[in-house]
Amino acid sequence: MWQALHEELEPLGLSVVTVALDLDPEKARPWIEAASPTHPSLIDSHHRVDELLGISNVPMAVWIDESGTLVRPAEGASIQPSPLAAMEITDEMPPRLQAVLREFKQMPQTGEAYRAAIVDWANLGADSRFVMSPDEVIAASQPRSAEHSRAAACFELGIHAESRGDHPAAIAWWKQAHALFPENWTYKRQAWTLESTADGAVSDKAQEVQDTYGTSWTDEFLATGGANYTVFPAL
Amino acid sequence: MLLSTLDVTADAFEAATGWSAKPEGMCKGDACVPVQSAVGPDGVIDVAAVADRLGMALLADDDAGVWAVGPESGGRALTTAVVPDIVLADVDGNPFNLSAMHGRKVLLVAWASW
């Protein structure tokens, strides 16, 4: 998907750069190799773009102009209609799945408009109506509290504990990070996906195996609501 | 930013946080915050003082003997619209500096396998 957009817009002077927030780069490798990207495809195992650019879920993107200045802050980066939002809800589905799909239908469907905005920017550059001034970009970025800073430090200490093989210590740090910055889904989804059930089943993409953290993606998604799941672009 | 010592050079601090020591104080892009004697004569940053002034959490993991510094806080996620030097590796470990993209528009997309 991103490779196709890159190929389309590269002649207009726009490059896609993808950054995988994966603690283990090998988890990202199959996806990268399947995409065969001709654009820079990078790994950010410490989630540095969270701190430096305000990323708080995936997929999210920022726009950077030719001089290295942000012209749009971190925002949800869907570029096509959500197939989940379009899915028909039937009585035969498990109730929790029905609830999740109802929340997907509550999400603003910004995919096609966001893609069109990127194409507009590629064509018009600074004259695109979607380009923000530096002050507008800063003001449109998300609030950053002392708790958020502390959450980032906790997340980092968790990564360090994990890297030295002390998984229980990592969990303790990550629980703190989650409590301090609940709106940051990258801290939660990254941690959840490392867990397994008591009988050894690994966490799946839906991140439903959550004995360790006492919560799950579905629990938190339903509590947050689809409309607050990411920073939807205001276009 | 993970630290094994609080004796950090100004260059290392800038590489990790985007904040550089200048005569007018600590600066990131076009934003500067006055900090008294942020850097000692040996080029070492006073991490505790800078972290306190910029609202950066400074946490110790005593068992592991390391510290972590969080990002600046008290305002917005972005202090400046100028993107700091960001160096990340590709999947094979080759470092790439985002500044190599200067002169082109960049759509930087964060994703994950999870």
Read off the DSSP letter of residue A18: E
pLDDT in tens, A181-201: 999 999 999 998 888 665 555
User: Could you report the predicted ipTM of this complex, rounded to two decimals?
Assistant: 0.95
Q: What is the mean pLDDT of chain A?
A: 93
Q: Which residues of B fall within a CB distance of 8 Å from A27?
A: 113-114
Contact list in B for residue A52 (CB cut-off 8 A) is 18, 71, 83-84, 86
Preceding omega of A25 cis (within 30 degrees of 0): no
A217 touches chain B (CB under 8 A): no
**Residue A47 above 70 pLDDT?**
yes
Of B64, B76, B78, the CB nearest to A164: B64
Q: Which residues of chain B lie closer than 8 angstroms to A39, CB-CB?
A: none
| Cβ of residue A195 closer than 8 Å to a chain B Cβ | no
Question: What pLDDT, on a 0 to 100 scale, did the predictor assign at position A99?
Answer: 94
* Contact assignment for A60 to B83 by CB distance below 8 Å: no
CA distances from A26 to A22, A171, A190, B3, B61 (A): 8, 21, 14, 25, 27
| A69 touches B at CB < 8 Å | yes
- Cβ contact (<8 Å) for B68 and A154? yes
| E-strand stretches of A108-184 | 143-144
Give the residue ranges of chain B where pLDDT is below 50: none
pLDDT at residue A211, as a whole number: 75
Q: Is A163 on the interface with B (CB under 8 A)?
A: no
Q: What is the structure's pLDDT at B9?
A: 93
Q: Name A41's bridge partners.
A: A18
- Asked if A138 and B81 come within 8 Å (Cβ–Cβ), the reply is yes
In angstroms, what separates the C-alpha of A223 from chain B's closest C-alpha? 20
Tell me if B51 sits within 8 A of B19, measured CB to CB: no
* Residue A43, min C-alpha distance to chain B (Å): 6
Q: Got the DSSP string for B3-72?
A: ES-SEEEHHHHHHHHS-EEETTEEEETTEEE--TT-B-TTSEEEHHHHHHHHT--EEEETTTTEEEE---
Within 8 A by CB and 6+ apart from A205, the residues are B114
Residue A141: pLDDT above 80? yes
Confidence bin at A67 (pLDDT 50/70/90): very high
Question: Residue B58 and residue A96: Cα distance in Å, rounded?
Answer: 40
pLDDT on residue A195 = 83
CA angle B2, B8, B9 (to 5 degrees): 130
Quick check: A76 contacting B, CB < 8 Å? no
* Residue B54 contacts residue B69 (beta carbons within 8 Å): no
Cβ contact B10:B22 at 8 Å: no
Q: How close A96 comes to chain B (CA, Å)?
A: 20
Provide the pLDDT for residue A208.
66
Token pair for residue A173? 């740090």
- The confidence score (pLDDT) of residue B60 equals 97
Smallest CA–CA distance from B54 into chain A, residue: A146
Q: Best interface-test mutation with B: which of A1, A65, A149, A176 has the largest number of B CBs within 10 A?
A: A149
CA closest to A136 among chain B residues = B81
Q: Which residues contact A140 (CB under 8 A, 6 or more apart)?
A: A72, A73, A132, A234
Q: Kindly report the pTM of this predicted structure.
A: 0.94
Burial of B109 (0-12, 13-18, 19+ CB in 10 A): buried
Please indicate whether, in this complex, the C-beta atoms of B107 and A27 are within 8 angstroms of each other.
Answer: no
Structure token pair of residue A162: 């994990």
CB contact (8 A) between residue A14 and residue B18: no
**Strand pairing class (B105-111; A14-20):** parallel
Query: Nearest by CB to B59, which of A139, A148, A154?
Result: A154
Quote the pLDDT of residue A201.
59
